[in-house]
């Protein structure tokens, strides 16, 4: 397993084509806007080296029997699924942001099942290819970007009817030694911190869209791949040289559009090609895993609750009954989220491939809660923090001789708490609920792993209403109905 420094050194060897704010980024590792997200990924390596976290952060490879980072593991039991949820909460609490390896882990697990099932149906060799690739990922402790979301263009039209057929990534050429693909993947969290990109279809497909039914993996610096990083609220604060105003002084996240401009993929890296009937299965299995992965929001919630309690103390308001009640409510919502991710893991089951999959219904219920509860937790934190969270002058003003004395005087809360400490906790709450981290805690909670409506569709599909009706009819004496 890699150490954090070995991970950082491995990224320096990549020749990524990255653009940010209209300019090519020549040094991705040390760029001040990108580096906090790299630090968050590095924590996945740091905790895996800590014996105190070995049970959560490491696993035993079912392929080699060697100790590996859990982020490269294929779940072999219900306990593996439970540990994954606990690992997500731990990582969220230690970074206060998205740590970016869950998507790749979920893609690996979904492909371990779908490639097996395709082979059973069609006599193909996708699973053998995948297992060779998986062993490579495990042995080198690689970060994989799971690339599923296409730009989609006109949402009312299927891929083959789009005015621009590249709105969904597709195969444009088949060669003796591989395929050539064109398109893009949007909202890619941690993309430029990754060694590998694993591409999957984004929706269920029909025969007319068979050229879009493709899954493969490539090194992240493959020729023809370009990354365009997204903007985040307050992102250029990282360029100012100070620390306080960014809120979270070490960690952060990033998202990118990944463009595939006629990129060649060798056959040994192809895990699905035109098997359109399995695209929906891959999407649903990946989505189930990734909706479970929102255990990370519980960890970030832990940080925000701690910040809210701290600022209440700094303001001298921690004994107020309404403040106590709001913090109780924040904890209630956060622990309810935790119940969901643990439940879908505990109710998991073994698939024919040998991989364990979470309970799909409960995973969707969990993610539906994630689309709501973090927003209320954030609202309550802002309520407790007060308006100074958004009207506070800058760190530079605190240190300027002309203004610093007035800030020290008028922005102090309790007399025994330094003004700077009060400012720092306010900036952290701002970061988590409005700034760069709000992308990972709020908007990602809403749209990550599918929009809220996607979960509602799955809940409607998976709940057995007829069985519930039969129970009700039996208990009230309607006919001879018996529970199904």
* Annotated catalytic residue, options 115, 189, 202, 310: 189
pLDDT confidence band for 481 (50 / 70 / 90)? low
Q: What is the pLDDT of residues 133-167, one digit of tens each?
A: 999 999 999 999 999 999 999 999 999 999 999 99
Confidence of residue 437 (pLDDT cuts 50, 70, 90): confident
Residue given tokens 């980072």 in the structure block: 69
Q: From the CB of residue 277, how many other CB atoms can be counted at a distance below 10 Å?
A: 16
Q: What are phi and psi of 175, to 5 degrees?
A: -120, 170
Q: What is the mean pLDDT of the chain?
A: 97
Dist CA 434 CA 390 (whole Å): 9
Residue 95: is its pLDDT beyond 70? Answer: yes
pLDDT digits (tens, 9 = 90+) for 223-261: 999 999 999 999 999 999 888 999 999 999 999 999 999
CA 145 distance to own-chain centroid: 10
**CATH 2.40.110.10, domain 4-84+97-277, yes or no:** yes
| Beta carbons of 47 and 57 less than 8 angstroms apart | yes
Known catalytic residue at 222: no
What residue segments make up the domains of the chain, in order of their start? 4-84+97-277, 292-471
Q: Which of 294, 314, 338, 356 is catalytic?
A: 294
Choice among 98, 144, 341, 344 that is catalytic: 98
- pTM of the shown model: 0.96
Q: Mean of the pLDDT values across residues 45-71?
A: 98
Q: Residue 484's pLDDT is what?
A: 54
* 284-325: pLDDT as tens digits: 999 999 999 999 999 999 999 999 999 999 999 999 999 999
Torsional class of 270: left (φ above 0), alpha (ψ -120 to 50), beta (otherwise): beta
| Section 383-393 average pLDDT | 97
3-state secondary structure string across 123-157: CCCHHHHHHHHHHHHHHHCCCEEEECCCCCCCCCC
Query: Distance between CA 443 and CA 203 in Å, rounded?
Result: 21
Of 7, 44, 72, 102, the catalytic one is: 102
Q: Which of 7, 290, 371, 430 is catalytic?
A: 290
With a CB cutoff of 8 Å and minimum separation 6, the contacts of 115 are 126, 127, 129, 130, 271, 272
Q: Which CATH architecture has domain 292-471?
A: Up-down Bundle (1.20)
Task: Please indicate whether residue 290 is annotated as part of the active site.
Answer: yes
- Determine whether 255 is an active site residue: yes
pLDDT in tens, 186-230: 999 999 999 999 999 999 999 999 999 999 999 999 999 999 999
> Of the residues 144, 296, 341, 344, which is catalytic?
296
Q: Is 296 a catalytic residue?
A: yes
Q: What is the mean pLDDT of residues 99-121?
A: 98
Report whether pLDDT(436) > 90. no
Please give, one letter per residue, the 3-state secondary structure of 403-457.
Answer: CHHHHHHHCCCCCCCCHHHHHHHHHHHHHHHCCCHHHHHHHHHHHCCCCHHHHHH
Q: Which among 255, 275, 284, 395 is annotated as catalytic?
A: 255
The answer to whether residue 189 is catalytic is: yes
**Rounded average pLDDT over 266-288:** 98
């Amino acid at each position: 397993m890699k150490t954090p420094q070995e991970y950082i050194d491995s990224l320096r060897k990549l020749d990524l084509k990255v653009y940010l704010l209209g300019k090519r980024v020549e040094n991705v590792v040390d760029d001040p806007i990108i580096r906090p997200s790299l630090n968050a990924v590095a924590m996945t390596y740091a905790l895996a080296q800590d014996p105190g976290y070995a049970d959560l952060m490491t696993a035993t490879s079912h392929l080699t029997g060697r100790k590996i980072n859990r982020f490269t593991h294929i779940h072999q039991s219900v306990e593996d699924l439970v540990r994954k949820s606990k690992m997500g909460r731990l990582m969220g609490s230690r970074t206060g942001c998205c740590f970016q390896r869950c998507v790749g882990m979920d893609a690996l697990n979904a492909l371990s099942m779908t490639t097996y099932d395709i082979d059973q149906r069609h006599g193909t060799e996708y699973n053998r290819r995948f297992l060779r690739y998986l062993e490579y990922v495990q042995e080198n402790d690689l970060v994989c970007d799971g690339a599923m979301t296409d730009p989609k263009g006109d949402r009312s039209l299927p891929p083959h009817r789009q005015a621009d057929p590249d709105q969904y990534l597709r195969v444009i050429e088949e060669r003796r030694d591989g395929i050539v693909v064109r398109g893009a993947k949007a909202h890619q969290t941690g993309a430029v911190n990754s060694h590998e990109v694993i591409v999957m279809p984004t929706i269920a497909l029909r025969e007319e869209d068979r050229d879009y039914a493709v899954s493969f993996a490539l090194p992240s610096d493959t020729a023809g791949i370009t990354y365009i990083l997204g903007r985040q609220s307050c992102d250029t604060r990282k360029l100012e040289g100070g620390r306080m105003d960014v809120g979270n002084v070490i960690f952060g996240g990033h998202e990118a559009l990944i463009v595939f401009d006629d990129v060649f993929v060798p056959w040994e890296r192809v895990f699905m090609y035109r098997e359109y009937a399995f695209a929906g299965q891959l999407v649903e299995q990946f989505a189930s895993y990734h909706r479970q992965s929102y255990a990370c929001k519980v960890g970030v919630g832990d940080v925000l609750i701690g910040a809210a309690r701290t600022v209440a103390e700094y303001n001298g308001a921690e004994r107020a009954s309404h403040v106590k009640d709001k913090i109780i409510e924040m904890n209630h919502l956060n622990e309810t989220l935790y119940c969901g991710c643990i439940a879908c893991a505990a109710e998991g089951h073994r698939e024919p491939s040998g991989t364990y999959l979470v309970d799909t219904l409960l995973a969707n219920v969990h993610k539906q809660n994630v689309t709501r509860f973090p927003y209320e937790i954030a609202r309550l934190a802002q309520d407790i923090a007060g308006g100074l969270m958004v009207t506070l002058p800058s760190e530079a003003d605190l240190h300027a001789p002309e203004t610093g004395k007035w800030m020290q005087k008028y922005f102090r809360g309790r007399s025994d708490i330094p003004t700077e400490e009060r400012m720092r906790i306010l900036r952290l709450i701002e970061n988590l609920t409005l700034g760069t981290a709000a992308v990972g805690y709020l908007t990602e909670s809403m749209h990550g792993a599918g929009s809220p409506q996607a979960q509602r569709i799955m809940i409607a599909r998976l709940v057995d209403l007829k069985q519930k009706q039969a129970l009700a009819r039996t208990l009230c004496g309607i006919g001879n109905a018996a529970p199904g």
